[in-house]
């Protein structure tokens, strides 16, 4: 067969393949489920968060100036391919290394879970991180329901929104916030089973309140 005939044959094979469903990339998303209860499965009491925070965390920081002096013990939390750090008003983007490792594991596992479901990728939103005592006082003036004795003070704790996500994919298929919440909840439940974290489902705040867990 001449080279021109081979080119024509290859051309028609490509054309035919593009018209067949079996030749197209399968974009069907697998069923997304969370067989559990958000309030029951993520109901770790504040005392557990605090106990772990007091062991793994830094000493309490009165204000931002004090926090600057402790940055040698902390790691900066930066937006990346797996999560976005929102503009923080009542907290600063620093965590102890163990807590940052946990946050990165959540981001990686969330990304991998979406990939295994053949779903488009979405980034998580980190909405609150480490608070100084001054931050907490200012926050309590705005939100009287916020606790003064918070694990956020120890740089071991962060909040991830379960209501909002940022799509990071060119695929036209979209997931709903509820579907994404189920994926995130499955990731967190697995990490809880591994005893890597404590998690509280904050219904009114629209976030998961997460503290790195001390090894026992």
Q: What is the pLDDT of residues 92-102, one digit of tens each?
A: 999 999 999 99
Structure confidence at residue 144 (pLDDT): 63
171 near 186, Cβ under 8 Å?
no
Per-residue pLDDT for 22 more than 50?
Answer: no
What residues are paired with 207 via a beta bridge? Answer: 161, 202
Q: How many angstroms from the chain centroid is the CA of residue 56?
A: 21
- In angstroms, the CA 124 to CA 86 distance is 10
Alpha-helix residue ranges (DSSP H) falling in 19-122: 38-41, 46-56, 64-68, 97-116
Of 202, 195, 184, the residue nearest 42 (C-alpha): 202
Per-residue pLDDT for 1 more than 70?
Answer: no
> In this structure, which CATH number among 3.40.50, 3.30.1380, 3.30.70, 1.20.140 belongs to the domain 28-212?
3.30.1380
The DSSP element (H or E) to which 207 belongs, if any, is strand 207-212
- In angstroms, the CA 56 to CA 99 distance is 9
Which of the pair, 13 or 61, is modelled with greater confidence?
A: 61
Percent of the chain beyond pLDDT 70?
86
Structure confidence at residue 185 (pLDDT): 98
Structure confidence at residue 134 (pLDDT): 93
Reduced to 3 states (helix: H, G, I; strand: E, B; else coil), residue 123 is: strand
Q: Which tokens is 182 given?
A: 């189920």
What value does the mean pLDDT of the chain take? Answer: 89
Per-residue pLDDT for 211 more than 70?
Answer: yes
Instruction: Read off the pTM.
Output: 0.86
Which of the pair, 1 or 88, is modelled with greater confidence?
A: 88
Mean pLDDT of 131-158: 86
């Amino acid at each position: 067969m001449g080279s021109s005939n081979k080119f024509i044959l290859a051309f028609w094979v490509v054309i035919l393949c593009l018209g067949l469903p079996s030749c197209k990339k399968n974009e069907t998303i697998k069923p997304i489920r969370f067989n559990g209860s958000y309030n029951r499965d993520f109901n770790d009491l504040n005392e557990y968060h605090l106990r772990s925070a007091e062991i793994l965390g830094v000493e309490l920081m009165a204000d931002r100036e004090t926090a600057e002096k402790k940055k040698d013990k902390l790691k900066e939390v930066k937006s990346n391919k797996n999560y976005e750090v929102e503009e923080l008003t009542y907290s600063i983007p620093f965590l102890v290394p163990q807590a940052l490792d946990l946050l990165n594991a959540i981001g990686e596992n969330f990304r991998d879970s979406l990939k295994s479901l053949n779903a488009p990728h979405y980034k998580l939103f980190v909405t609150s991180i480490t608070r100084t005592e001054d931050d907490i006082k200012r926050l309590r003036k705005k939100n009287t329901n916020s606790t003064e004795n918070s694990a956020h003070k120890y740089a071991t704790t962060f909040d991830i929104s379960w209501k909002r996500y940022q799509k990071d994919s060119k695929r036209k298929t979209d997931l709903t916030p509820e579907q994404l919440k189920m994926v995130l909840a499955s990731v967190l439940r697995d990490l809880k089973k591994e005893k890597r974290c404590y998690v509280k489902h904050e219904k009114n705040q629209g976030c998961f309140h997460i503290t790195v867990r001390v090894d026992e």
